[in-house]
Amino acid sequence: MQELILLPKPLDQLTDPEIKRKACIGKIMTYTLKSLTNTYVTKGFEWLLPVALSQSTDPLWPDPGASIEKRIEVNIYDKLVRTTASMIVHKLVGCSTVYEKLFILSPNIRIEKAERAKTGKHIYEFTQLDFEIRNANSKDIFRLVEDTLCTLIKGLKVECKAELAALHRSDLKIPKAPFKVLDRTDLEAKHGIEWEARICREITEPVWIVNIPREFYDYEDFATGRWDNYDLFMPQYGEVLSGSRREFEYEKIYEKMEREQVRKENYSIILKMAKEGRLKPTAGAGMGMERIVGYITGVEHIGECQPFPRVPGNVHEL
């Protein structure tokens, strides 16, 4: 089925009907960015500027959903830095020090394996709305995201009615909050390792998937083995948001880095702040802009939501 997905084309190769379609997607992306950022600013979040190069960035390990072919590293001022895979480390430091509530339109460069070109939901460069809240828990994040998305889609159906109609998405439903919560262990027991594909086909409303083994910064209860984290899945489209309550205790972070063989020298600032008691309990998430707009517009490939598509295995002039 995936082989039937047509890859998005560069702007200079679009036909007139495709240009009109691209313009509709662009209008919806603009409204989405406006609605989401307005909501976060109104709720008292500080809007931080993004970082593209950093010594410390997301390890993306041992996340079972990661499929990175290579990491981009460059030497500047006699220091080795990496392109940002996510701003999770920056969020943890920022939220523990200056900003009690923050968000960023964060660049993410993840060189996916070329075979992911036709999944329809993987690109090698994308943007997340990354946010973090001090002293928050998972339920706080659920309510925030549910309110944010319901407000967004309700507004879209009024302000972008013509664009949704042109994209055959007039039937887009305003989600009903609170969203259903499903446990990953139950899904694995029912569907096996292919639970993600099955759940995407079965659900008709957004659902939270919780308790997913992941990176060292996601909170894990050592006594029970449960993870206090979450992904938001959309019908037919899959995961559009990923987040967690965060680890902040030095001993736990250190033990998890040892267990997963994470290079501690890449996260020395996290270890130092945790050891000194300056890393605060926080919770947050990152919402993929191309994925959420992809769901809204019903595109086959989320690269259609980018003006200059970043499809795995494909490099265009722009």
* 33-76 pLDDT per residue, tens: 999 999 999 999 999 999 999 999 999 988 767 788 889 999 99
**What are the structure tokens assigned to 194, written together?**
């292919």
**What are the structure tokens assigned to 199, written together?**
């759940």
Give whole-number Cα distances, 202 to 54, 206, 236, in Å. 40, 11, 8
Residue 310 lies in a domain: no
Residue 315 lies in a domain: no
pLDDT at residue 3 above 60? no
Q: What is the pLDDT of residue 5?
A: 87
Q: What is the pLDDT of residue 57?
A: 95
CA distance 200 to 210: 15
Please state the rounded mean pLDDT for residues 93-120. Answer: 96
Please state the rounded mean pLDDT for residues 273-280. Answer: 98
**What are the structure tokens assigned to 64, written together?**
């079972």
pLDDT at residue 2 above 50? no
* Dihedral (CA of 159, 130, 67, 80) sign: positive
Please state the rounded mean pLDDT for residues 112-136. Answer: 96
Residue 312 lies in a domain: no
Residue 21 lies in a domain: yes
pLDDT at residue 182 above 80? yes
Please state the rounded mean pLDDT for residues 295-313. Answer: 97
Q: What is the pLDDT of residue 1?
A: 41
Residue showing tokens 């949704």: 164
Range in 6-15, 64-73, 152-161, 262-271 the model is least confident about: 64-73
Q: What is the pLDDT of residue 27?
A: 98
HEC profile of 62-110: CCCCCCEEECCEEEECCEEEEECCCCHHHHHHHHHHCCCEEEEEEEEEC
pTM assigned to the model: 0.95
Domain of 43 in residue numbering reads as 2-305
Residues pairing with 286 in the sheet: 130, 242
Q: What is the pLDDT of residue 309?
A: 98
Q: What is the pLDDT of residue 4?
A: 74
Please state the rounded mean pLDDT for residues 279-303. Answer: 98
Please state the rounded mean pLDDT for residues 126-148. Answer: 98
Give whole-number Cα distances, 163 to 213, 242, 290, in Å. 39, 28, 17
Please state the rounded mean pLDDT for residues 245-259. Answer: 98
Look up residue 171 and give its DSSP letter.
Answer: T
CA distance 161 to 239: 25
Q: What is the pLDDT of residue 61?
A: 84
CATH number, residue 298: 3.30.930.10
Which backbone phi and psi does 109 adopt, to 5 degrees?
Answer: -115, 110
Residue 318 lies in a domain: no
- Please check whether residue 289 is in contact with residue 121, taking contact to mean a CB–CB distance below 8 angstroms: no
Whether the bond into 17 is cis, omega within 30 of 0: no
Residue 99 lies in a domain: yes
Q: What is the pLDDT of residue 65?
A: 72
pLDDT at residue 7 above 50? yes
Residue 122 lies in a domain: yes
Please state the rounded mean pLDDT for residues 278-307. Answer: 98
Reported confidence tier of residue 143, pLDDT bands at 50, 70, 90: very high
Look up residue 138 and give its DSSP letter.
Answer: H
Number of domains comprising the chain = 1
Where would I find the H helices in the chain?
16-42, 88-97, 138-159, 161-166, 184-191, 195-202, 250-260, 268-275, 289-297
Please state the rounded mean pLDDT for residues 91-108. Answer: 97
**What are the structure tokens assigned to 94, written together?**
């920022």
Residue 311 lies in a domain: no
Q: What is the pLDDT of residue 242?
A: 98
